[in-house]
Structure 1
Amino acid sequence: MSLADQVLAVNDDLPIRTNKPVHSGKVRSVYWLTEEDSQRLIKEKGYDVSPDAPLAIMVISDRISAFDCIWHGEGGLKGVPGKGAALNAISNHWFKLFKENGLADSHILDIPHPFVWIVQKAKPVMIEAICRKYITGSMWRAYEKGEREFCGIEMPEGLEKDKQLPELLITPSTKGILKGIPGVPEADDVNITRKNIEENFAAFNFTKADDINVYETLLKEGFGVISEALACVEQTFVDTKFEFGYVTDAAGNEKLIYMDEVGTPDSSRIWDTKEYNSGNIVENSKEGFRQFLLNHFPDPDILLNKERMPEREALARDNVLPLDALMDISKTYTSIAETITGQPVVLSDNPKQEIIDILSSQYGLID
């Protein structure tokens, strides 16, 4: 059994019954179920969703994306061993904690396998909601160059790198390319202000203006719950990204829910608290891999400069990364997952076959 066999790199070729094209993102692939299968599962499994809600199977992979590119390593390694299972385990843990704390639901209805979620279709809010407790990364780089306004919020003078901000900061950006919103460039991932959102709430897919407060509350509460839980295992929650959407429950009520993943090393920065208190930054997140890439290539500007995207894509395609770099990031992901959940991350010998077997025998979804 080679290491490459234990990595689920291609996750859009499973024989899951669907009559729509499989949507493959950077890390997850989405299989929309047929109407018949969706309605059958809602009935059989008693999911709290509208009886005609479209359901999908979301399969995570072990692919590693950074700087908007997918990277690969020596020995035919097309991903990071244990990464997918670690990401899902962490998200599942936080979603469960949100529920226990009376926060909103998520789009996840069922978890048949460590790599798989059964989700309901949600109407996404077109905002990447970034929450920051410390000034670091791109925000620090901009601050150091003299920028003081972030997403319409004026920052004070005298902030120090990697130090706690005066208060939790919400710095939203666009999710996808939004057209026709005054003052918002038609590009993916551009910073926006609360005023932009208030004046164009429908363009961002909010049902009503009051829901802007709801999303901000869910953001702060979610951040707080994760932050407190991480503090108990000597980890510092630095910043994170949340995504939200609307669904309708079985009783016909529309509600705002958490979508995508939460509090993972892919969507957050997590620092080792003991090391931080001693003056060292030890990243328990993908940030460590980004730093490795910036040091590994002679011209880091290719990775940081959006104007040089074709060169960046070539870099990711044509360069095989050293095995130990991918194993380092594997250790980061699996260790932080074990620290957070208290459970070991078990590497599957053949994740694809396991997924097919479960979805066939327990859900009747394999053709």
Structure 2
Amino acid sequence: MSLADQILAVNNDLPIRTDAPVHSGKVRSVYWLTDADSKRLIQEKGYDVADDTPLAIMVISDRISAFECIWQGEGGMQGVPGKGASLNAISNHWFKLFKDQGLADSHILDIPHPFVWIVQKAKPVMIEAICRQYITGSMWRSYVKGEREFCGIELAEGLSKDSKLPELLQTPSTKGILEGIPGVPAIDDVNITRRNIEDNFEAFNFKSPDDITLYEKLLTEGFDVISDALAKLDQIFVDTKFEFGYVKDKAGNDKLIYMDEVGTPDSSRIWDGEQYRAGKVVENSKEGFRQLLLAHFPDADILLNKNRMDERLALARDNELPASVLMDVSKTYTAIAEKITGQKIVLSANPKTEIIDILREQYQLID
């Protein structure tokens, strides 16, 4: 079996029983279960949710996205071997640590397969909850241009690239396009201030102003838990993006939870501690792939300039990256996952067949 066969690239064509269209994102696909299957699984598996909670099967893929495009490799490689399993393993590890340390729950109820989560329906907070411990990336690009206010936060003079910030900063942006919020452009991923959120908390899907403080607390606590654990592995948690949402508990009350993924190489920058102390930044996250793309193509502005999105999409569609590049990315993902979890990431010979067999035999979700 070829390496390409071990990559789960297409994950929206599984024969899972559903009444709704499959929702496919850049990396994950979501299958909403029928009401009958949701109720049956809640009873059979004893999930700690209200009996009428809608459930979904969330299937990760090995696709790799960067600069809002999906990238491919030569020889039919439509993704990165081991990437999906690594992302899920890391998230599962952190969510368990959060629960063990008394932080909030996550949307995950069950993990039938390394590529699969069974999740409860959550109403997302429309914020990309970003936390930064070092000045790099978009914050550094703004700083170099002379900007000293970032998401409403005043930055000191004299900061240097990739240096540790005086304190942990929360720099939120919008999740999706939000219309009609004063001072917030209706575009995805636009930086916002805490004042923007306070003045329009309902537009961001918060149930109350107090929940803004709660999400900030959960963000900081979650960041600190991961940062402390990574520090023991001599890895630096540079910055990250969390997502939050509301679910109903068994009694029908709203509760704020972590959702999507946390502390992964896709959602975070992770640097090697030993190399950083030696004055060199070595990325153990997708940022390394982004930097590689910027160096690989002659006109890097295509990847950075949102006004050139048509050219960027064509670049991703018409260029097959060398297989060696995707294998280097695979090594980055599997190595950091194994370091964090202490478990080997095993590549499935045929992940799609495995998923179908498990969901048919153990969950009766495939006819």
- TM-score norm. by structure 1 comes to 1.00
1:176 match: 176
Structure 2 CA distance, aligned partners of 1:241 and 1:132?
Answer: 9
Structure 1 CA distance, aligned partners of 2:291 and 2:98?
Answer: 31
1:113 match: 113
2:126 match: 126
2:28 match: 28
1:301 match: 301
> What is the CA distance between 1:62 and its match in structure 2?
0.1
Identity of aligned residues (%): 79
Structure 2 CA distance, aligned partners of 1:272 and 1:214?
Answer: 31
SS at match of 1:91: helix
2:292 match: 292
> What is the CA distance between 1:259 and its match in structure 2?
0.5
Deviations 1:168-189 (A, max 9, x none): 0000000011111111111111
Within 5 Å, give how 1:25-174 maps onto structure 2. Answer: 25-174=25-174
Structure 2 CA distance, aligned partners of 1:139 and 1:182?
Answer: 23
Structure 2 counterpart of 1:327, one-letter code? M
Structure 2 CA distance, aligned partners of 1:235 and 1:241?
Answer: 17
Structure 1 counterpart of 2:30, one-letter code? V
> What is the CA distance between 1:332 and its match in structure 2?
0.0
Structure 2 CA distance, aligned partners of 1:138 and 1:217?
Answer: 24
Structure 2 CA distance, aligned partners of 1:46 and 1:192?
Answer: 40
1:326 match: 326
> What is the CA distance between 1:251 and its match in structure 2?
2.0
Deviations 1:121-149 (A, max 9, x none): 00100000100000001111110110111
Structure 2 counterpart of 1:112, one-letter code? P
SS at match of 2:133: strand
Within 5 Å, give how 1:183-262 maps onto structure 2. Answer: 183-262=183-262
Structure 1 counterpart of 2:63, one-letter code? R
Structure 1 CA distance, aligned partners of 2:251 and 2:201?
Answer: 26
Structure 2 CA distance, aligned partners of 1:182 and 1:50?
Answer: 37
1:348 match: 348
> What is the CA distance between 1:300 and its match in structure 2?
0.3
SS at match of 1:349: coil
Structure 1 CA distance, aligned partners of 2:2 and 2:123?
Answer: 41
Structure 2 counterpart of 1:88, one-letter code? N
Structure 2 CA distance, aligned partners of 1:249 and 1:352?
Answer: 32
Structure 2 CA distance, aligned partners of 1:334 and 1:93?
Answer: 14
> What is the CA distance between 1:333 and its match in structure 2?
0.1
SS at match of 1:216: helix
> What is the CA distance between 1:253 and its match in structure 2?
2.2
Structure 2 CA distance, aligned partners of 1:315 and 1:173?
Answer: 27
Deviations 1:56-77 (A, max 9, x none): 0000000000000000001100
Structure 1 CA distance, aligned partners of 2:248 and 2:83?
Answer: 32
Structure 2 counterpart of 1:19, one-letter code? D
Structure 1 counterpart of 2:26, one-letter code? K
Aligned residues: 367
Structure 2 CA distance, aligned partners of 1:180 and 1:302?
Answer: 30
Structure 1 counterpart of 2:301, one-letter code? D
Structure 2 counterpart of 1:145, one-letter code? K
Q: Which runs of 5+ in 2 are unaligned?
A: none
- TM-score norm. by structure 2 comes to 1.00
Structure 1 counterpart of 2:294, one-letter code? L
Q: Which stretch shifts more, 248-257 or 80-89?
A: 248-257
Deviations 1:282-325 (A, max 9, x none): 00000000011000000000000000000000000000000110
Structure 2 counterpart of 1:184, one-letter code? V
Structure 1 CA distance, aligned partners of 2:251 and 2:96?
Answer: 22
Structure 2 counterpart of 1:140, one-letter code? W
SS at match of 1:223: helix
Deviations 1:229-281 (A, max 9, x none): 00011100000000000001112221100010000000000000000011010
Structure 1 CA distance, aligned partners of 2:344 and 2:218?
Answer: 29
1:274 match: 274
SS at match of 1:212: helix
Structure 2 CA distance, aligned partners of 1:194 and 1:60?
Answer: 32
Structure 2 counterpart of 1:71, one-letter code? W
